[in-house]
Structure 1
Amino acid sequence: MARLVLWDIDHTLIATGGVGRELSAAAFEQVLGIPMREQATVDGLTEAVIFRETARLHGVDSDRAMFERFAAALAEEHVRRASDLRERRHALPGAAEALAALAAAGVRQTVVTGNVRAVAGIKLAVFGLDRHIDWASGAYGEDADLRPALVRIALARAGASPVDAVVIGDTPADMAGARANGVPVIGVATGRSDPRSLQRSGADTVLMGLDDTDGLVELVLGTG
C-alpha cells in the first residue's frame, strides 16, 4: 500500500479561477518596478522558473535574491486578497473528502508543488484543505526548478521510499516527476491535460476527478 501521497495543488485540489496571474503581476511589478506584460507558461513549472522566464521576457536577468523578494511579495498578495481567492477559486469536487478519507485510512499526505511554501499553505487553508497536510515533508517551488528533483526532495524529507509513495497530479510534469523517481502516479484530468496526454506521460491510472472517494482510497491503498 502507498503510505505517502504527494499531492499537486493547482488544478488537482483547487481550481485557480485566473486570479493567480493577477497576484503574480502585482508581485512582479512590486519587485521589478515594471508592469508584467506577459507571463511565461505556468503548467507544471515551479514558481522560480516561471519568475525567471517571465523576467527574461521583459529583458531582465533575474537572480536568486530577486526571486526571493518576488516570492515574499507573492505571499503577501495572497494574504491581502484572500477574499478574492475564496470568491474566484474553489476546491475541486471531492478534494476535501479525499484528503479526509486518506487521513482516516492512516495515509500520510504532503504536497509536491511549483508554488512556494507560503503560497501553497495559503491556497489550501483558504478552502480548509490544509489540515491533513504534513507540510514539513513537502517540496516547493523554492526548493528546485524541476519536478523530478521536487519529488526526490519530498521523499527524502518524508523518509519514504518510492514504492511506499504515490504522486497525484494533473500535468505531464507531475507524471514525469514521479516516473523519474520510480514512484507510482495517478493522473487527474481536472486541469488542461486530457487523459490521453497523462497516460502518454506515464500515469499508472487516470481519473476524471476526485469525486469517487472510496475508489480513490482503494486505488491509493493498492498502489506501491
Structure 2
Amino acid sequence: MSRLVLWNVDLTLVDVSIITREAYADAFRKVTGRPLVKLTQHNGRPDSEIVFETLAINGIVAEDDHLPEFLEALGEAFGARRKRLTKDGRTMAGAADALKAVARLDGTVQSVLTGTIKSNAVHKLTAFGLDRHVDFEVGGYGEEVYPKATLLQVAQGRARQKYGGTFDGGNTVMIGDSARDVQAARIAGASMIAVATGRSLPAELHEAGADVVLPDLSNPSEVVAAVAGLTSPARKAG
C-alpha cells in the first residue's frame, strides 16, 4: 500500500526560533527601511500570513509587492545564517529516529507540510540531517498562498503525480504540534498525530480533533504504530 506522512517542521522536528527571529528582522528592515519592533507569534501559521500581520502591527500598509519581496529577503537572511542552525537551534526529542522508523514502513512517502517557505524548510532539516527521509518535492510550503488544509490536498496531488497510486484522506497522516495543524488535517480529511512540543497543550490538541496525541517523538515505535494504525486497510474501510 501507499501512505503519505506530512510533517510540520518548527517545534515538531526542529526549534530554530532564534535564527528565524533574526531573519525576520533583517527581511523587515530590507523591505521597509525600518527596524522590526514587533513580530507576531507563528502558532502554525504560514510565512505568507505572518508577513502581512507583521507589517500591520508595525504600522506598515501592505502593498502588492511587499509579500514577494519580504519572502525573498526572508529566504536570503535565513540562508545567510544556515551555518549557525546547529549551534543556535536544536532537533526536537526523537525527531531523527522517528523519521527513520516511519521510513521503514512499506510504501511510505514522507514530506513536509509547513508554514515555512521551502528554501528555509530545506535548510532547517538539512542542517540536522533530517532531510534524508524527506521528499521535499511533494511538500507544501509557506510561500504558497493556500489555507493549510488546501495545501495538504495540494501535497497529495503532488505525491500522486510523482509516485502514482492513490494518496487521499485514508492513507495520509499529518504530524504536527499546533491546533491549527489538527484543524487543517480535519478539514482535508486526513488523519492527525499531534505532538505536544509546541505552544498547544495536549487538551487543546485533543479538543481540536487529533486522532493521537503524543507528548513528543521520543518513542519511535509509538510514532510508527500510530502511523500504521491510521493508514491500515481496516481504518480506510471504516
Q: Determine if the TM-score, normalized by the shorter chain, exceeds 0.5.
A: yes
Which residue in the other structure is 2:148 paired with?
Answer: 147
Q: Deviation at 1:6?
A: 0.8
Which of 192, 203, 206 is 1:196 aligned to? 203
Cα 1:29–1:115 shift into 2, 3 Å: same
Q: Deviation at 1:179?
A: 0.1
Q: Does the 8 A contact of 2:8 with 2:113 survive in 1?
A: yes
Question: 1: CA distance between counterparts of 2:74 and 2:53?
Answer: 16
Which of 176, 187, 190 is 1:180 aligned to? 187
Which residue in the other structure is 2:104 paired with?
Answer: 104
Q: Deviation at 1:63?
A: 3.9
**TM-score (normalizing by structure 1):** 0.95
Alignment of 1:131-170 (within 5 A): 131-159=132-160, 160-170=167-177
Q: Does the 8 A contact of 2:19 with 2:78 survive in 1?
A: no
Question: 2: CA distance between counterparts of 1:85 and 1:26?
Answer: 16
Which residue in the other structure is 2:131 paired with?
Answer: 130
Q: Deviation at 1:30?
A: 1.0
Give CA-to-partner distance per residue, 1:47-93, whole Å, 9 cap, x none: 00000111112222324532222222212222211232211111111
Q: Deviation at 1:172?
A: 0.4
Give CA-to-partner distance per residue, 1:22-46, whole Å, 9 cap, x none: 2111111111111111012211111
Cα 1:70–1:139 shift into 2, 3 Å: same
Q: Larger Rg: 1 or 2? A: 2
Question: 1: CA distance between counterparts of 2:17 and 2:52?
Answer: 23
Question: 1: CA distance between counterparts of 2:228 and 2:64?
Answer: 40
Which residue in the other structure is 2:47 paired with?
Answer: 47
Give CA-to-partner distance per residue, 1:81-125, whole Å, 9 cap, x none: 123221111111111111111112232101100001111111111
1:27 aligns with 2:37: no
Which residue in the other structure is 2:93 paired with?
Answer: 93
1:79 aligns with 2:79: yes
Q: Does the 8 A contact of 2:19 with 2:81 survive in 1?
A: no
One-letter amino acid of the structure 1 residue matched with residue 137 of structure 2: A
Cα 1:80–1:150 shift into 2, 3 Å: same
The worse-fitting range, judged by mean Cα deviation, of 133-142 and 15-24 is 15-24
Cα 1:64–1:12 shift into 2, 3 Å: farther
Residue aligned with 2:175, SS: strand
Question: 1: CA distance between counterparts of 2:17 and 2:46?
Answer: 19
Which residue in the other structure is 2:220 paired with?
Answer: 213
Q: Deviation at 1:17?
A: 4.2
Residue aligned with 1:151, SS: helix
For this pair of structures, how many residues does the alignment match? 224
Q: Deviation at 1:153?
A: 1.4
**TM-score (normalizing by structure 2):** 0.89
Residue aligned with 2:70, SS: helix
Residue aligned with 1:168, SS: strand
Identical-residue share of aligned pairs (%): 37
